[in-house]
Amino acid sequence: MDFQTGMKLLSDRVIKLKGSIQTEEATKNALVMPFIQLLGYDIFNPMEVIPEFTADVGIKKGEKHKPKPQPKPDKEPKYVPYRTKEEIRIKVPKIKEKS
């Protein structure tokens, strides 16, 4: 299978499964590992793919990355009234021509 066909199949899989995957491990098994395999790596060879690799970046040494929790959106969307073009008309002052 060529790369483009594999990516198309994987993207279809993501769309199909994105609502039913509940855990980090399920995400890894269903989406991440097939993607790494599609890139040509042997996912079962620890010399090629290191699970839970700790990358030292910046001031974080020997720590795993933990993303900050995202703020929860408002429970109800704010109401924005719909306005027609006629209601939005801008009043432009008339410029008098010099005589």
pLDDT confidence band for 52 (50 / 70 / 90): confident
- Alpha-carbon gap, residue 29 to 3, rounded angstroms: 19
- Residue 91 is predicted with a pLDDT of 62
- Alpha-carbon gap, residue 7 to 14, rounded angstroms: 10
- Residue 67 is predicted with a pLDDT of 64
Nearest to 31 by CA among 46, 61, 19, 77: 19
Q: Could you tell me the residue ranges of all domains in the chain? A: 1-52
Q: What is the CA radius of gyration of the chain?
A: 26
Whether the model clears a pTM of 0.75, i.e. scores above it, the answer is no
Contact 36, 49 (CB under 8 A): yes
- Residue 46 is predicted with a pLDDT of 86
- Tell whether the model's pLDDT for residue 50 goes beyond 80: yes
Contact 14, 21 (CB under 8 A): no
Tokens matching residue 99: 């005589």
